[in-house]
Chain A
């Protein structure tokens, strides 16, 4: 049992409230994402869970034990930083072995454990290199191996892929997902990238201004956002006849149908697999629709054309 329970935790820097009375449960073995814009308090919350920052108020429980006043080194956590935080003067092997060595583990045991981890992160061939001789993606995999070496009870990742190229980032994301299925240690991933959170996490915590806006599965957040902020943060939103909907839920017809509103096509943009249609509705409001290529080909839309639009599906919650 290594779930995490955060109760009424706050943290201020001077007058500035970075984390404002947050309560949160991270289920044992889950992969939970803290998602929110930059400055929303994600790192501060994560660092308090790690023990790297002391909460101003509240309680943090890991695996049933109150660790609020426990120093980081005794929390048995693994922490991965955005900028790798590699030990520059140590080889990859020594970096990974660090946690075991300071525990004075048996030499042979350290060797085999480090070998196992290097295999897990595909760095067997790089054991003797120094961090400066690795790519960003490799450094981050080394940092992950280093954190996992001590068999932490929870794994905390602060924007681990934030400093990497888009393609490397996508690869590592998928790899992290598989890794979690294999190791299944309770994991919290901090990110400001909704696609990353949606792709990797089972539970997403949306944060804004030091508070939690909503907690749910990626699907719940997308289909039933609790408010405007969440709706806009986890996916695109457009407005039709006063209600909000996802652009792919805008139904475009050539002929008038019941409940549809007249609209004029302003612009059609082809973006590979999707086609974006910008429209001006009869009430003068602008909206946009997201079509598949097939749908767009069938409709044969042209700029200036008059069409009829309605919502094929609205978001269930009335948004402010």
Chain B
């Protein structure tokens, strides 16, 4: 595990800190990193809300085909990501049946990222929702709380650790996602190029220094997110027992 990581790090700093710094502050590299970070944050935020909503409907509502919908949630995990990318391109691309074309746009890239990271929050929130103490919701109701106040003051605080840790996983996944976005992004530097695609492109053009440098930045971000998830986990359990 550590060996290849060490190789990447040594490659990145092979030319000294200056070379690393130079590679990272390259305009195209910076743009890719910035876009990756922003899209990942946006996608995480959207999926935190959507995922919670979907988990809620799957746990609290009864409807026909519920177990089918439930099994559909894992599709992004089950599907090879390149297939997911191809599917999106076929659907929303220039020759697709959809009335709009989002191929080679940031919206398209975001859509792909939304799709592949959807299951994280849903699957994190669902089990917590299942074990929630329904009587504490009834207690809130009997004390005069409206459904919204009960959700915000009683339910949401219990779900928050799960939403955040599911969101952190989704964020980490979005940072490094390649397969599903490489086709729909269309590799337009400064417009739709994400860090992972940038790395791929640099390798293709033999600029290993740039590829390794950007990889190290992604690696650092991933490590920070890991730490965050661990902290969230401890925090979520602080009132257990």
Q: A88-B136, A132-B240 are in contact. Are A79 and B142 (CB under 8 A)?
A: yes
**A95-103, A241-249, A251-259, A304-312 - the one binding chain B:** A95-103
The reply to whether A52 and B136 contact each other, CB–CB distance below 8 Å, is no
| Assembly CA distance A89 to B139 (angstroms) | 14
Decide yes or no whether B52 CB sits under 8 A from chain A: no
Other-chain contact of A79, B139, B157, B239 (Cβ < 8 Å): B139
Any chain A CB within 8 A of the CB of B83? no
Chain A residues, CB < 8 A from B136: 85-88
Report A-chain residues with C-beta under 8 Å of the C-beta of B149: 102
B154: Cβ under 8 A from any A Cβ: yes
- CB within 8 Å for A98 and B153 given contacts A85-B136, A132-B240, A132-B241: yes
Within 8 A of B (CB), among A62-95: 71-79, 81, 83, 85-89
A85 in contact with B239 given A73-B144, A73-B146, A146-B143 (CB within 8 Å): no
Interface residues on B, range: 20 to 34
CA distance A79 to B136 in the complex (A): 11
> Cβ of A147 and Cβ of B239 under 8 Å apart?
no
In the complex, whether A160 has a CB less than 8 A from a CB of chain B is no
Which of B136, B145, B149 lies at the interface centre, i.e. has the most chain A CB atoms within 10 A of its CB?
B136
Report yes or no: A102 in contact with B144, Cβ–Cβ below 8 A: yes
- Is there contact, CB below 8 Å, between A89 and B135? no
Question: CA separation between A167 and B156, bound complex, in Å?
Answer: 37
- A146–B154 Cα distance when bound, in Å, is 14
Number of A-B pairs, beta carbon distance below 8 Å: 71
Q: Roughly how many angstroms separate A86 CA and B139 CA in the complex, as a whole number? A: 8
Residue of B with least CB distance to A53: B138
In the assembled complex, the Cα of A89 lies from the Cα of B239 at a distance in Å of 6
Most chain A CB neighbours (cut-off 10 Å) among B136, B142, B144, B146 = B142
Q: Are the C-beta atoms of B158 and A88 separated by less than 8 Å?
A: yes
Instruction: Find out whether the CB atom of B138 lies under 8 angstroms from the CB atom of A72.
Output: yes
Q: Determine whether the beta carbon of A73 is less than 8 Å from that of B145.
A: yes
- Interface residues of B: mostly helix, strand, loop or mixed? helix
Tell me which residues across on chain A come within 8 A of B146, comparing CB atoms.
Answer: 73
B133 within 8 Å of A (CB atoms): yes
Q: Given A73-B145, A73-B146, A98-B153, decide whether A88 and B140 contact each other with a Cβ distance below 8 A.
A: no
* B143→A81 contact, CB < 8 A: no
Q: What B residues does A207 contact at CB under 8 A?
A: none
**B135 near A102 (CB under 8 angstroms)?**
no
Residue B141 at the chain A interface, CB threshold 8 Å: yes
- Min CB–CB distance B241 → chain A (angstroms): 4
Q: Which B residues are in CB contact (< 8 Å) with A81?
A: 135, 138-139
Q: Using a Cβ–Cβ cut-off of 8 Å, how many residues does chain A contribute to the interface with B?
A: 30
Q: Which residue of B lies closest to A149 (CB)?
A: B143
Q: Are A102 and B158 also in contact (CB < 8 A) when A50-B142, A77-B142, A150-B143 are?
A: no
- The answer, among B135, B143, B158, B241, for a CB contact under 8 Å with A83, is B135
Question: Is A102 a contact of B239 with CB atoms below 8 Å?
Answer: no
Q: Is the CB of A52 within 8 A of B144?
A: no
Q: Which of A52, A73, A77 has the most B CB atoms < 10 Å from its CB?
A: A73
Question: In the complex, what residues of A have CB within 8 A of residue B239's CB?
Answer: 88-89, 130-132
Q: Which of B141-198 contact A (CB under 8 A)?
A: 141-146, 149, 153-154, 157-158
Task: Output the nearest chain A residue to B145 by Cβ-Cβ distance.
Answer: A102
B158 / chain A contacts, CB cutoff of 8 Å: 88-89
Known: A102-B149, A131-B239. A85 touches B133 (CB 8 A): yes
Residue-wise interface mask of B (121-145) relative to A, using a CB-CB cutoff of 8 A (1 in contact, 0 not): 0000000000001011011111111
**Chain A residue at minimum C-beta to C-beta distance from B146:** A73
- Residues of the A chain whose Cβ atoms lie less than 8 Å from the Cβ of B142: 50-52, 72-73, 75, 77-79, 147
Q: Which residues of A contact B144 (CB under 8 A)?
A: 73-74, 76, 99, 102-103, 150
Rounded to whole angstroms, the CA-CA distance of A85 and B135 in the bound complex is 5
Pairwise interchain contact B145-A52, C-beta atoms closer than 8 A: no
Residues in B neighbouring A72, C-beta threshold 8 A? 138, 141-142
Q: What is the CB-to-nearest-CB distance from A71 to chain B, in angstroms, rounded to a whole number?
A: 8
A residues contacting B by CB (< 8 A) are 50-52, 71-79, 81, 83, 85-89, 98-99, 102-103, 130-132, 143, 146-147, 150
13 residue pairs from A and B, CB less than 8 Å apart: A76-B144, A78-B143, A79-B142, A81-B135, A81-B138, A85-B135, A87-B136, A89-B239, A99-B144, A131-B239, A132-B240, A146-B143, A150-B143
Question: Can you name 16 extra interface pairs (CB under 8 A) apart from A74-B144, A85-B133, A102-B143?
Answer: A72-B141, A73-B142, A75-B142, A79-B142, A83-B133, A85-B136, A87-B140, A87-B154, A89-B239, A98-B140, A98-B143, A98-B153, A102-B153, A131-B239, A132-B240, A132-B241
Q: Which 10 A-B pairs have the closest CB atoms?
A: A99-B143, A85-B135, A79-B142, A132-B241, A85-B139, A85-B136, A89-B157, A81-B135, A72-B141, A73-B144
Q: Which residues of B contact A (CB under 8 A)?
A: 133, 135-136, 138-146, 149, 153-154, 157-158, 239-241
